[in-house]
Structure 1
Amino acid sequence: MVSVSFVLFAALSLSIQARPSPGNEPTRTISVNAVAPPNCFPALGFKMPSSTPSTLNNWWCDMRTEYGFVGFSYEVTDCQSLSKLRSDFLEIRETFNSRYIRMYGFCDRPGDNDIIDAAWGAGIGVHALIWFGFDNTDEWMGRRDALFAILHSNPKAKFVTRALQFGSEPLFDFVLDPPVLAEQVIAAKANLSSLKIPVTISEMAFGYQSWTQSISSTHTCCRFFSTQASIANNSWPIVLTDLNWFIDNGEGKKIYLSENGWPSVTSDGVQPNSPSAVANVQNEHDHYTVLDAHCKDFKAVPGGGVGWFWHIFSDDMEPGYGLFSTSGKLKFSPFAPKTSC
């Protein structure tokens, strides 16, 4: 199921003035000059060094500057070649001013090295992902171990991997008992602590609301699939309802929305839960403009603001959700969301 993911990281101190009711714009203040200078990764304008630095000190941009549009979800199930990854990542970075790609799906060949190398070459960061799937099988264990090995062995990995998402909607899909999932997250944090790579999960508000376990995480909420969905221009109250839940329950941690999109077509796996929900290219475009219009609201969220990913790069990956059609053409233009405001 496509959803909006919220990644929660370590707390950063910002202030909040008022709690809005759904549909009203929040009136919050931010206490920092949240624009990344071009001398930190992956700020726009940052020039990659010719070799990896000796330390992560002063490498990453302050997460408080990572609000508004940050990049694309990018499905890797096709096990794209290194040349394809390089081409796509360069376009994602240079044409659309992306700072990150967020991995989606899985590739069970040793493809994570290619993702890291392509990201380094394009000067773009990565939100990595351990994919569970939907069949309650145990392939995720091999994916976990292979990814950990690559993150430790590839010298570029810690310089491009901003976070590891331990599953996409694992609570909603009940892939593991919540206490077991929490143990896996804690173990992953320990495994990656020397690399300073945070570990999260990607989950819907409903997934969290169904369980009382506390997991440091990424989160998801659905718009097109909401029972209140109609047209994309009316989607902000749905976003705000779930966002406020995460603000209230996220303990001031950094939030990223890692799956955001509105389908241009329906299919067997993409059916609305509201008879009023409309799927077409115009509504896909309009949902993007709704997100973009609320840049200042995302900036003001405590914990360092909210960065959002567009789901997904191409219809070849997830039919209906891509910015590009299966013929390789932009479905609407321009796509130039705000990266600061």
Structure 2
Amino acid sequence: MLFPFLSSVVLLSHLHHYASALSLPEVDVTTSAGINDNADASNCFPAIGFTMPSSTPSSLTNWWCPMSSEYAFVGFSYEVSQCQSASQLKTEFANIKNKFHGRYVRLYGACDREGFYDDVVDAAWNAGVGVHALIWFGFDGGDIWETRRDTLTQALLNNPRAKFVTRTVQFGSEPMFDWVLDPPVLADQVTILKQKLSTLNIPVTVSDMAYSYQFQESNGSGQVMQAIDFIDAHMLPFFAQDASTADQSWPLVLRDLQWFYDNGLGKKMYLSENGWPSTTYPGVEPNSPLAVADVPNEKAYYDLLDSQCEYFKTAPNGGVGWFAHIYSDNQEPGYGIYGKDGQLKFAFQPRTSC
């Protein structure tokens, strides 16, 4: 591939990305240890008005905001294959929080520099944002993912602040679509990691598409759905066979959302890898001749999501939070909110509540 850090989500094999619409069940959201039940207050992490303590707390009691309060825009995907310095992480995480009111940074890609996740933890703590950490498989096969899993696990267990900023660990980004592990094996790995992190109250999920679950259904993808704590769903309607312009993509979004409502076992959902490209290039090409990739359409997609704030607030299972994929074109060409020149490509101030 021209861009080894690109997710397989941009490959042309997205031909059958979207599922047909289904009905919507109503299921209550469960709570877990460390949750602050006052969803409307700013006295929980990482609420926009929350003030970080001067020292590391002794307990997670009443620390995390309930997931039911996390809907609409929640933050950015942030690609880390550049192994950003500690100072750059601090600057950009603070910008995510202060300029855009992002509550989370969803890591994407991998940096294998020793101590990198400790730098992430420090930057997140300083900025007051949570982290969706990631075990990255890559596209070359091999077992480096095992080293990354073990390195991240040790950082989470050994860094006293890690559990206070790490909202979840994603066990792969499209691992079922890439078939990096048989689904039952992936489910077992999720369960094992949940057990290792149980003392930290850090949930584990898998970041993938509705299509991946459907494609792998006969191979055991349902076991993955059972194993994960909540759903990190990929949403890139640009690649749908019936895509056109971004402002017409809401029915495409609803198709995948509704599949997850019917098959997600009542679990909370975030749109983790979620966006519309502003340009095409080999590997980022539409499956519909009517799909349009340019900056106005990238903006129009996020404007469309922002206009559906009430829907995301009232959606089943505690609402739906969405990330913008991705922070900068320097991280993944065409998807950034910032261009390669460091300037915003368009006005971006989505709602975080309604």
Normalised by the length of structure 2, the TM-score is 0.87
Q: Deviations over 1:111-141 (max 9, x none)?
A: 1110011000101000000000112221111
Output the CA distance in 2 between the equivalents of 1:221 and 1:118: 27
Output the CA distance in 1 between the equivalents of 2:261 and 2:298: 26
The letter of the residue matching 2:349 is A
> 1:65 corresponds to which residue?
69
> 1:272 corresponds to which residue?
286
Shift of the 114–198 alpha-carbon distance from structure 1 to 2, 3 Å rule, reads same
> 1:11 corresponds to which residue?
none
How far off is 1:260 after superposition? 1.2
Structure 1 contact 201–218 (Cα < 8 Å) conserved: yes
Output the CA distance in 1 between the equivalents of 2:207 and 2:72: 18
The letter of the residue matching 1:301 is A
How far off is 1:331 after superposition? 0.2
Query: Which stretches of structure 1, 4 residues or longer, exceed 6 Å deviation after superposition?
Result: 26-31
The letter of the residue matching 2:41 is P
> 1:100 corresponds to which residue?
104
Output the CA distance in 1 between the equivalents of 2:267 and 2:237: 23
Greater mean deviation of Cα atoms: 212-221 or 231-240: 212-221
Say whether 1:169 aligns with 2:174.
Answer: yes
Q: 1:258 is paired with a residue of what secondary structure?
A: strand
Structure 1 contact 67–340 (Cα < 8 Å) conserved: yes
Output the CA distance in 2 between the equivalents of 1:260 and 1:79: 22
> 2:142 corresponds to which residue?
137
The letter of the residue matching 2:314 is A
> 2:14 corresponds to which residue?
none
Structure 1 contact 3–260 (Cα < 8 Å) conserved: no
Match of 1:44 among 44, 48, 68: 48
> 2:233 corresponds to which residue?
219
> 1:204 corresponds to which residue?
209
> 2:327 corresponds to which residue?
313
The letter of the residue matching 1:289 is D
Output the CA distance in 1 between the equivalents of 2:25 and 2:211: 26
Q: 1:290 is paired with a residue of what secondary structure?
A: helix
Output the CA distance in 2 between the equivalents of 1:189 and 1:143: 16
Shift of the 204–179 alpha-carbon distance from structure 1 to 2, 3 Å rule, reads same
How far off is 1:210 after superposition? 1.4
Output the CA distance in 2 between the equivalents of 1:176 and 1:151: 24
> 2:349 corresponds to which residue?
336
How many residues align structurally? 322
Q: 2:44 is paired with a residue of what secondary structure?
A: coil
The letter of the residue matching 1:193 is S
> 1:14 corresponds to which residue?
none
Output the aligned Cα RMSD: 2.2
Structure 1 contact 2–259 (Cα < 8 Å) conserved: no
Greater mean deviation of Cα atoms: 221-230 or 274-283: 221-230
Output the CA distance in 1 between the equivalents of 2:163 and 2:183: 28
Output the CA distance in 1 between the equivalents of 2:308 and 2:207: 22
How far off is 1:218 after superposition? 2.5
Q: 1:95 is paired with a residue of what secondary structure?
A: helix
How far off is 1:3 after superposition? 5.2
How far off is 1:275 after superposition? 0.9
Normalised by the length of structure 1, the TM-score is 0.90
Say whether 1:182 aligns with 2:187.
Answer: yes
Shift of the 23–282 alpha-carbon distance from structure 1 to 2, 3 Å rule, reads farther
Q: What percent identity do the matched residue pairs reach? A: 57
List alignment gaps of at least 5 residues for structure 2. Answer: 1-6, 11-19, 30-36
How far off is 1:30 after superposition? 9.8
The letter of the residue matching 1:72 is F
Output the CA distance in 1 between the equivalents of 2:183 and 2:40: 36
Structure 2 contact 266–317 (Cα < 8 Å) conserved: yes
Q: Deviations over 1:44-103 (max 9, x none)?
A: 110000111111000000110000000000001000000000000000000000000000
The letter of the residue matching 1:275 is P
